[in-house]
């Protein structure tokens, strides 16, 4: 299926002409799909630079057109600008547009007026300021995450963000320095930065919460750290229940007790759907994809559907049963949308790969953690391909015959802001291996 993304300045005549031709093709061709992204003129430059930098493209004018491979996920293939899109439509579909310049200008003016009206309506009917909370704010990940998080790439429809930085272990001097450094970034979406060193106002009006608390076990007894995490996250859960928006999106990150911390939040915040709590496993998945890609001499983005099952901070395993690779130059090769089974290609080397990936249970860098958070959040907000599958720690309430109340990493797909497990991804062998992860989690969860 051909799925094109057409983005451009809302007042651009060429965007208007390309938009009408794309609409006509979508009506007449069952396998042609187009997603349109009109951007206000004042925001176009930043949006274009961010999009091109993320995807490794070079483009300067409006509109910008790319093709997404719906079965693959990830970034698409750049088609180009107005002339490139028109030529593609003529060559492949025999379609063209003979719109006059005056008509193009009139339609562009209507597009701009419509877009401004939609934004004005959204401002009247939704919160003007999105409240984003980051706990463990002095964690090095926070400083890398903030400039990428507060961008139109992550929040394309948000007008302003009130950023709340919470760190219960931070000094007043360190927190104020973090506030000043964040303000000095002069981010377009940043409305205000507020720092917190206690729970007095924690999670008030929160729309997005990212938990980065450093609860590593270095130099301390594991049981003591579990008790500390339990006390803190039960308090967090109660405050989220009382103070946060009921549709809040909560992401639990970190190297220690991720599954336990997420389950404590989900069980303590009684008035909020457990679907709103997710523990991040994408950093493990990305590490596996990178190892496989290096061996197969492709890019990590060419490897898809690598799944992580189990206890994110403990006993987990990598599942390659559905893993696919694109752009692999072997005995069989094909165009960009052609994929092959990773298992079939790796053959006898599979065991060595799994051992290599499974051994990467140490601390992840701030860069890899940031990338994992952004990938998960974009999928949750509907900004990724609707066909993308990824690994996430979610509350498995009786699913796959597992006990209620445990958070395990499983393959999911986000649809309309909700995650859905992939039921056909599990078999008897995976169920058996998951039971080992469950046993380990039970030992952690029932430490008094």
The pLDDT of residue 448 is 41
The predicted pLDDT at position 129 comes to 79
Output DSSP code: residue 424: G
Pair of tokens at residue 101: 């310049």
Q: Say if residue 204 is in the same domain as residue 62.
A: no
Q: Based on the fold, state whether residues 260 and 352 are members of the same structural domain.
A: no
Rounded to the nearest 10 degrees, the angle between the axes of helix 101-125 and helix 13-28 is: 90
170 shares its domain with 113:
no
Contact between residue 353 and residue 291 where contact means Cβ atoms under 8 Å apart: yes
Q: Provide the token pair at 141.
A: 């990940």
Bridge partner residues of 439 (DSSP):
none
**Structure-token pair, residue 301:** 């983005």
CATH (domain of 324): 3.90.110.10
311 and 393 within one domain: yes
Is there a single domain that holds both residue 287 and residue 254? no
350 and 411 belong to one structural domain: yes
> DSSP 3-state helix, strand, coil percentages of the chain (rounded to 5)?
45, 20, 35
Measured distance between the N- and C-terminal CA atoms of the chain, rounded to whole angstroms: 54
B/e letters for 346-360, b = 16+ CB within 10 Å, e = fewer, are beeeeeebbeebeee
CATH assignment of the domain containing 116: 3.40.30.10
**pLDDT for 250:** 97
Do 441 and 381 share a domain, yes or no? yes
What tens digit of pLDDT does each residue of 165-206 get?
999 988 999 999 999 999 999 999 999 999 999 888 899 989
Nearest-5° Cα angle at 198, 210 to 140:
45
Q: Which of 71, 103, 123 is the last residue of a domain?
A: 123
Q: In which domain, by residue range, is 16 found?
A: 2-123
Q: Cα 216 from chain centroid?
A: 24
Rounded CA gap, 407 and 176, in Å? 35
289/435 same-domain check? yes
Provide the residue-wise pLDDT of the chain in tens; the chain has 448 residues: 567 889 999 899 999 889 988 988 888 888 788 888 898 888 899 889 988 887 889 998 999 999 876 444 445 789 999 999 999 999 888 888 877 888 888 888 888 888 887 766 655 545 457 999 999 999 999 999 999 999 989 998 888 999 999 999 889 999 999 999 999 999 999 999 999 998 888 999 899 999 998 776 555 556 788 888 888 999 999 999 989 999 999 999 987 888 889 999 998 998 899 999 999 999 888 888 888 888 889 999 899 999 998 888 888 888 888 899 999 988 887 888 888 988 888 764 554 555 455 444 445 788 989 999 999 999 999 998 888 899 999 988 766 677 677 888 999 999 888 998 887 777 778 888 888 877 777 766 654 4
129-135 and 208-211 beta bridge pairing: parallel
- Judgement on whether residues 326 and 438 belong to the same structural domain of the protein: yes
Taking only the tens place, the pLDDT of each residue in 280-289 is: 999 888 888 8
CATH at residue 175: 3.40.50.720
Query: What's the sign of the alpha-carbon dihedral 278, 374, 201, 223?
Result: positive
Rg (alpha carbons) of the chain, rounded to whole number: 23
- Both 189 and 147 in one domain: the answer is yes
60, 88, 123 - which closes a domain: 123
Which regions of 281-424 does DSSP assign to beta strands (E)? Answer: 303-304, 307-310, 316-319, 324-326, 339-341, 390-395, 407-415, 418-421
**pLDDT for position 371:** 92
Note the pLDDT of residue 103: 82
Q: Which of 274, 306, 324 is the last residue of a domain?
A: 274
> Three-class SS of residue 182?
helix
Domain count, the chain: 3
Round to whole Å and give the CA distance between 381 and 373: 12
How far apart CA 379 and CA 440 sit, in angstroms, is 29
Identify whether residues 194 and 266 lie together within a single domain: yes
Residues 224 and 166 in one domain: yes
- Looking at residue 361, its pLDDT comes to 44
Predicted local distance difference test score (pLDDT) of residue 353: 54
Q: What is the pTM of this model?
A: 0.70
């Amino acid at each position: 299926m051909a799925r094109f993304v057409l983005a451009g300045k809302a007042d651009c005549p060429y965007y208007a002409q390309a938009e009408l031709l794309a609409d006509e093709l979508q009506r007449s061709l069952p396998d042609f799909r187009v997603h349109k992204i009109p951007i206000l003129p004042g925001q176009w430059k930043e949006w274009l630079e961010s999009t091109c930098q993320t995807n490794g493209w070079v483009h300067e004018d409006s509109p910008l057109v790319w093709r997404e491979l719906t079965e693959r996920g990830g970034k698409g293939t750049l088609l180009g600008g107005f002339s490139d899109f028109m030529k593609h439509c003529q060559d492949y579909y025999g379609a063209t547009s003979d719109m006059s310049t005056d008509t193009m200008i009139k339609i562009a003016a209507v597009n701009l007026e419509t877009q401004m009206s939609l934004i004005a309506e959204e401002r009247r009917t939704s919160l003007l300021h999105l409240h984003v909370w980051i706990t463990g704010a002095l964690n090095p990940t926070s400083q890398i995450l903030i400039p990428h998080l507060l961008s139109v790439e992550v929040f394309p429809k948000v007008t302003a963000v009130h950023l709340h930085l919470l760190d219960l272990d931070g000094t007043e001097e360190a927190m104020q320095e973090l506030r000043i450094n964040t303000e000095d970034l002069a981010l377009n979406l940043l409305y205000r930065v507020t720092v917190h060193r206690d729970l007095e106002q924690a999670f008030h009006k929160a729309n997005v919460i990212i938990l980065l608390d450093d609860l590593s076990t270095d130099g301390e007894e594991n049981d003591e750290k579990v008790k500390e995490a339990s006390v803190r996250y039960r308090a967090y859960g109660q405050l989220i229940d009382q103070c946060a928006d009921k549709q809040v999106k909560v992401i639990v990150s970190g190297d220690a007790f991720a599954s336990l911390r997420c389950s404590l939040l989900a069980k303590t915040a009684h008035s909020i759907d457990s679907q709103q709590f997710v523990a991040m496993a994408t950093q493990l998945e990305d590490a596996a994809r990178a190892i496989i890609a290096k061996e197969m001499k492709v890019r990590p983005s060419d490897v898809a559907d690598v799944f992580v099952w189990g206890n994110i901070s403990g006993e987990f395993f990598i599942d390659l049963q559905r893993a696919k690779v694109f752009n692999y130059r072997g005995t069989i090769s094909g165009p960009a949308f052609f994929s092959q089974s990773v298992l079939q290609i790796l053959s006898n080397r599979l065991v060595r790969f799994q051992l290599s990936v499974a051994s990467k249970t140490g601390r992840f860098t701030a860069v890899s953690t940031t990338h994992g958070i952004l990938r998960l959040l974009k999928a949750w907000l509907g900004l990724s391909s609707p066909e993308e599958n990824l690994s996430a720690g979610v509350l498995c309430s009786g699913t796959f015959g597992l006990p209620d109340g445990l958070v395990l990493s499983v393959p999911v797909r986000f649809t309309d802001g909700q995650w859905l497990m992939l039921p056909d991804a599990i078999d008897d062998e995976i169920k058996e291996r998951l039971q080992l992860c469950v046993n380990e989690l039970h030992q952690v969860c029932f430490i008094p």
